[in-house]
Amino acid sequence: MRRFLRHPVRLVPLGFLVAILFGTAALMLPLATIEEEKGAPFVTALFTATSAISVTGMAVTDTPHYWSGFGLALITVFTQLGGLGILTGAALVILTVSRQLGLRNRLLVQAESAEYGPGDIRRLLLRIAATVLACEAVMTVIIFGRLWLAYDYPPWHALWSATFHSVQAFNSGGFSLYSHGLLGFSRDPWILLPLTLGAIIGSLGFPALFEAARGWRRPIHWAVATKLTIWGTLVLLVAGSLILLIAEWTNPETIGRHGVAGKVMDAFSQLALGRTAGFEVVPTTAFREESYFVLIALMFIGGGSASTTGGIKVTTFFLLAFVIWAELRGEPDVTVGQRRVATSSQRQAITVALLSVAVVTLGTFTLILTVEPVAFYRSLFEVTSAFSTAGLSVGLAPSLPADGQLLLAALMYIGRVGPLTLGSAIALNTRRRLYRYPEEQPIVG
């Protein structure tokens, strides 16, 4: 217990577990389902609570027709608290890690975390909460006006729908009040663009977001992590949208029947919302296999560090790309924007990436064993979506037996708390040796 109290960030996994168990009990109440006399089965409630609190958004039920208004309100609250909890946990990781380092490294960590130090925890958390609520409020107002004026929704219905989906989008959740997701709003920029921009902002993470907002006039002076996150996210969005657009251009079941503007809108919105928030803008079950490959890759990468998104993180992915580039060129150091990247950061990136590959591989193999013969890419898609807490589904989760759904719930939990715990553990367990062994170069390749 003393070790936990000495490093509070290690309480993050326990905190999420307690929240999931509480959420499961709440969703099992008869009042939470439309059929009040029955209540939700344990596995269904556990899966939904895990999905909401880990801000995944994957569902095994028809959300609007299974959960009552009380149940939907619980899902909204769990998603909001889950998102704030993730950001709070990330803040604790950064501040606790900086407290354990020497002066030189502490200054570097503070530079990478928008110049917040260990004594600024209250101010940092208040700023995070204010940013989240402000973004959600703007999204809610725009979508509310559109639903009320253009779709003739009653005011309270429009406000509820706008609030629910804004919370889900910014926190990278994927629950929807519509059985078919956002398919009914295809090519509607007043609905899709606010949700898309909100999901992108939420996926950047507070260190990159705050530093970019503070120094937007001079991006050349951004920290390495901020540069990798901002520019890396832009590259992934543009490249991913173009590939998805090309792959589905002539597919009449997705975007093929629309005009050029409609195709671009749907492809970009689906890519941006699908890779982190898990919303369905076009029918994902009708995608071509090359589109699944793009979405699987981008879900696995995820969003920025210290954000509500999962995956190995954009920073990790592009840092590994720079490592490979430096190795191919025979450079002695890995440099990003005239800054040399520490060897320890390179090792951490490799560790996170390889462990994540191992978890997804093992999860896919296990899932295939639990269900009847199913296409490999569908199992890989579902497992990657659960582990990366993206929540986008090809319809496999609802048809899985109980053990398959429990496996996906476990992957959502691991994918959510794993990066936080692993990142803090690696940093806090860094030790110095007073000696070094003789060096040897084994043959590689």
Instruction: Give the three-class secondary structure for 402.
Output: helix
R_g of the chain, CA atoms, integer Å: 22
pLDDT class for 410, splitting at 50, 70, 90? very high
- With a cut of 90, say whether residue 138 has pLDDT above it: yes
What is the C-alpha separation between 244 and 241, in angstroms, rounded?
A: 5
Backbone phi, psi, residue 39, to 5°: 80, 165
What is the C-alpha separation between 140 and 30, in angstroms, rounded?
A: 30
- With a cut of 90, say whether residue 200 has pLDDT above it: yes
Contacts 24+ apart (CB under 8 A), 248-253: 248/282, 248/287, 248/288, 248/291, 251/286, 251/287, 251/288, 253/283, 253/286
pTM for the whole structure: 0.88
What is the C-alpha separation between 383 and 412, in angstroms, rounded?
A: 9
Mean pLDDT value across residues 244-270: 93
Q: What is the pLDDT of residue 306?
A: 78
pLDDT class for 120, splitting at 50, 70, 90? low
Q: What is the pLDDT of residue 416?
A: 85
- With a cut of 50, say whether residue 118 has pLDDT above it: no
* Mean pLDDT estimate for the chain: 85
- With a cut of 50, say whether residue 125 has pLDDT above it: yes
Whose tokens are 């691991």? That residue is 414
- With a cut of 50, say whether residue 108 has pLDDT above it: no
- With a cut of 50, say whether residue 114 has pLDDT above it: no
Mean pLDDT value across residues 99-126: 50
Residue bearing the bigger pLDDT, 92 or 127 = 127
Q: What is the pLDDT of residue 129?
A: 85
Residue 387's closest CA among 403, 358, 411? 411
Mean pLDDT value across residues 404-412: 94
Q: What is the pLDDT of residue 107?
A: 39
What are the pLDDT digits (tens) for 217-255? Answer: 888 888 888 999 999 999 999 999 999 999 999 999 999
Instruction: Give the three-class secondary structure for 223.
Output: coil
Distances (CA, A) of 37 to 22, 51, 248, 335: 21, 24, 45, 62
Give me the percent of the chain exceeding a pLDDT of 70: 85
Amino acid at 102: G
Q: What is the pLDDT of residue 176?
A: 94
